[in-house]
Amino acid sequence: MSSGKGGELIPSSSELDLDRPNIEDYLPSGSSIHEPLGKLRLCDLLDISPTLTEAAGAIVDDSFTQCFKSNPPEPWNWNVYLFPLWCCGVVIRYLILFPVRVIVLTVGWIIFLSCFIPVHLLLKGHDKLQKNMERALVELICSFFVASWTGVINYHGPRPSMRPKQVFVANHTSMIDFIILEQMSSFAVIMQKHPGWVGLLQSTILESVGCIWFNRTEAKDRETVTKKLREHSQGVDNNPLLIFPEGTCVNNQYSVMFKKGAFELGCTICPIAIKYNKIFVDAFWNSRKQSFTMHLLQLMTSWAVVCDVWYLEPQNLRPDETPIEFAERVRDIISVRAGLKKVPWDGYLKYSRPSPKHREQKQQSFAESVLRRLEEN
Amino acid sequence: MGNTSSMLTQYDIEEVQQHCNNAFSQQEIVSLYERFCQLDRNGGGFVSGEEFLSVPEFAVNPLSQRLLTMLDGLNFKEFVAFLSAFSPRATVQQKIEFIVKVYDSDGNGKVTFNDMLDVLHDLTGQFISEHQREQVLTKVLEEAGYTKESLLVMSDFVKLRHREI
């Protein structure tokens, strides 16, 4: 959106470029109302067209909503030859693949539980052995999950080594991100506490790999969580932490701002980039549209989940960098690797309104320019 | 025009196009429809105030509340008509009409001193006192040849637009 001299409405080509998000044009905050110099006149006070143009631009397209739009694969079954083929595909997927996968998953759970429960109860005294066995078992059940979606996962880069004071961060598309990564190496994770069967899993099995819970809606929670994060990362025997700094699931085409919590712990940050291949299935868990159960069922009735995982070079806080700059630098590294477009929004805006200070900044700069020009008379 | 999964028919598109006086091409109307459905999350056929405010860029705009009173409960046809002032094909006349509509809270085509004060309040927030706002507005109005009691109409805003006052 651009406004010329005197606040005229000059529609730029991006104004109604309705198919593309104008991320490059977006400039956060600052004065939106152009400031010509000189004596204050009626037109300066009353011409609201720049502000209106901005509002209309946001209504028509905005870079935040784009991040959470599901992008299912293009339908290709639209003609008379392909449609029967697609129907065969549906039959195979739902009536053959799906039952097989359910069986595989059930077998996996039986094996897992029959090993896990005894280990958990009987090996109480032998901490080290118990931990190692539980970790191996969790890796096993994750492999079963991945097999149940016919997951084809390409891991690139050196496998992460387990060292203390190391934290892993990754971009977030769905809760299956955790399962995919856990399959390869044991991580401790920090998660939003969910209701239902997921919550049950979280409190029983995930406890064994080490988990930290938080609640998005509780403001005070942040301090306790930061403390727990710090304690965990310092501990020698704990699984390395896996953190998703976006704080919410994004649609694997964009990345939202990283929260700085993970970057203030004084640890080495190992970035991981995850990119799903959309041709097979859209792995984005749109939590506003689907429950996790529906999401899993959708994955289990698709052909495959194909994705690439890159373990990237560990990064440290540079002496002249703030944690926020560090977070943005790591976000840049991950976004470039996974082909994600960066967006200057906080993912939590999905759940709450922006803070009034953004609007107040605009109001303040306009007010100040009015008062200043008044004195120039 | 129903929920997300229903498609717009050619007839629908033409009807909408006519309603907005050809401010948008048919392709643009289809894109606007996708956007409308994206915003209308509960599929009610109109976008509620809450749904508009979930767009952060819109929520931080100083005039968002004022625009919401104009936007709330519009169906798709009316939504497109609302946006027609921002189309590149819109005439200057249409743009000015829109601005007057934003100011004119009681819809009688005349903008009062209080209307102007209200909008100025939205734009400046708590950073200018009520008293100062009145002072500034009165001063600038008088310099432009109006008084506190003047009622501004379309022709005044045309002059404003051309920066004659």
Q: What is the per-residue pLDDT for A285?
A: 87
CA distance B32 to chain A (A): 7
Q: What is the per-residue pLDDT for A161?
A: 80
Q: What is the per-residue pLDDT for A36?
A: 57
Portion of chain A with pLDDT greater than 70, in percent: 88
Q: A149-173, pLDDT tens digit by residue?
A: 889 999 998 887 878 888 999 999 9
Q: What is the per-residue pLDDT for A12?
A: 36
- Whether the model clears a pTM of 0.90, i.e. scores above it, the answer is no
- pLDDT of residue A28 exceeding 60, the answer is no
Contact across the interface for A60 and B83, Cβ inside 8 Å? yes
Run of H or E residues at A308? strand A305-311
Closest by Cβ to B88, choosing from A16, A51, A59: A16
Q: Give me the helices (H) in chain A, please.
A: 42-46, 49-60, 63-66, 82-91, 98-122, 127-148, 176-184, 196-209, 221-234, 292-300, 323-338, 356-375
Please state whether beta strands A241-243 and A268-276 pair in parallel, antiparallel, or not at all (unpaired). unpaired
Average pLDDT estimate for A93-97: 90
Tokens of A42: 């009626």
- Under the banding of pLDDT at 50, 70 and 90, the label for residue A377 is low
Average pLDDT estimate for A360-375: 88
Average pLDDT estimate for A241-255: 91
Residues of B in contact with A353 (CB under 8 A): 53, 56, 59
- Under the banding of pLDDT at 50, 70 and 90, the label for residue A311 is very high
Residue keyed to tokens 């004022």: B66
CA atoms within 13 A on the CB side of B94: 16
Q: What is the per-residue pLDDT for A34?
A: 53
Q: Give me the helices (H) in chain B, please.
A: 10-19, 26-39, 49-53, 56-59, 64-71, 76-83, 92-103, 113-124, 130-143, 154-161
To the nearest 10°, report the CA torsion of B13, B14, B16, B22.
120
Residues of B in contact with A364 (CB under 8 A): 125, 127
Lowest mean pLDDT of A97-106, A186-195, A215-224, B86-95, name the range: A215-224
Residue B113 neighbours by CB under 8 Å, 6+ apart: B137, B141, B148, B149, B150
Average pLDDT estimate for A93-109: 92
Residue keyed to tokens 């929004």: A345
Q: Pick the residue with more confidence: A203 or A50? A: A50
Contact across the interface for B83 and A43, Cβ inside 8 Å? no
CA distance B125 to chain A (A): 6
Closest by Cβ to A354, choosing from B56, B126, B160: B56
Average pLDDT estimate for A177-204: 83
Mean of per-residue pLDDT scores for chain A: 82
- pLDDT of residue A358 exceeding 90, the answer is no
Q: What is the per-residue pLDDT for A11?
A: 36
Sheet architecture: strand order including A268-276: A151-156, A305-311, A268-276, A166-170, A241-243, A188-192, A211-214
Q: How far is the C-alpha of B59 from the C-alpha of A358, rounded, in Å?
A: 9
- Compute the count of residue pairs across chains A and B with CB atoms less than 8 Å apart: 157
Contact across the interface for B57 and A63, Cβ inside 8 Å? yes
Q: What are phi and psi of B69, to 5 degrees?
A: -65, -30
Give pLDDT tens digits along chain B (165 positions).
333 445 789 999 999 999 998 999 999 999 999 999 889 888 888 899 989 998 999 999 999 999 999 998 899 999 999 999 999 899 999 999 999 999 998 888 899 999 999 999 999 999 999 999 999 999 999 988 898 888 988 888 998 888 877
Q: Pick the residue with more confidence: A352 or B126? A: B126
- pLDDT of residue A10 exceeding 70, the answer is no
Closest by Cβ to A354, choosing from B52, B60, B120: B60
Contact across the interface for B136 and A354, Cβ inside 8 Å? no
Contact across the interface for B87 and A11, Cβ inside 8 Å? yes
Tokens of B151: 């009622």
- Under the banding of pLDDT at 50, 70 and 90, the label for residue A40 is confident
Contact across the interface for A62 and B161, Cβ inside 8 Å? no
Best mutation target among A47, A48, A343 (most B Cβ atoms within 10 Å) is: A48
| ipTM of the modeled complex | 0.91
Nearest residue in B to A55, CA atom: B58
Run of H or E residues at A257? strand A254-257
CA distance A367 to chain B (A): 5
Lowest mean pLDDT of A5-14, A71-80, A169-178, A296-305, name the range: A5-14
- pLDDT of residue A8 exceeding 60, the answer is no
Q: Pick the residue with more confidence: B155 or A24? A: B155
Q: What is the per-residue pLDDT for A37?
A: 65
- pLDDT of residue A55 exceeding 50, the answer is yes
- Under the banding of pLDDT at 50, 70 and 90, the label for residue A63 is confident
Tokens of A305: 């989940």
- pLDDT of residue A21 exceeding 50, the answer is no
Contact across the interface for A60 and B35, Cβ inside 8 Å? yes
CA distance A75 to chain B (A): 14
Nearest residue in A to B136, CA atom: A374
Contact across the interface for A363 and B31, Cβ inside 8 Å? no
- pLDDT of residue A18 exceeding 60, the answer is no
- Under the banding of pLDDT at 50, 70 and 90, the label for residue A2 is very low
- pLDDT of residue A374 exceeding 90, the answer is no
Q: A323-347, pLDDT tens digit by residue?
A: 889 999 999 999 999 999 998 888 8
Task: From B121, B52, B74, select the one nearest A353 (Cα to Cα).
Answer: B52
Q: How far is the C-alpha of B108 from the C-alpha of A46, rounded, in Å?
A: 18
Q: Which long-range contacts (CB under 8 A, 24 or more apart) does A132-140 make?
A: A134/A208, A134/A209, A135/A186, A135/A208, A135/A209, A135/A239, A137/A112, A138/A182, A138/A186, A138/A205, A138/A206, A138/A208, A138/A209, A139/A182, A139/A183, A139/A184, A139/A185, A139/A186, A140/A108, A140/A111, A140/A112
CB B33 within 8 A of CB B1: yes
- pLDDT of residue A221 exceeding 70, the answer is yes
Q: What is the per-residue pLDDT for A193?
A: 78
Structural domains in chain B, sorted by start: 9-89 (1.10.238.10), 91-164 (1.10.238.10)
Question: Could you give the 3-state DSSP secondary structure of residue A246?
Answer: coil
Q: How far is the C-alpha of B149 from the C-alpha of A161, rounded, in Å?
A: 77
Contact across the interface for A9 and B141, Cβ inside 8 Å? no
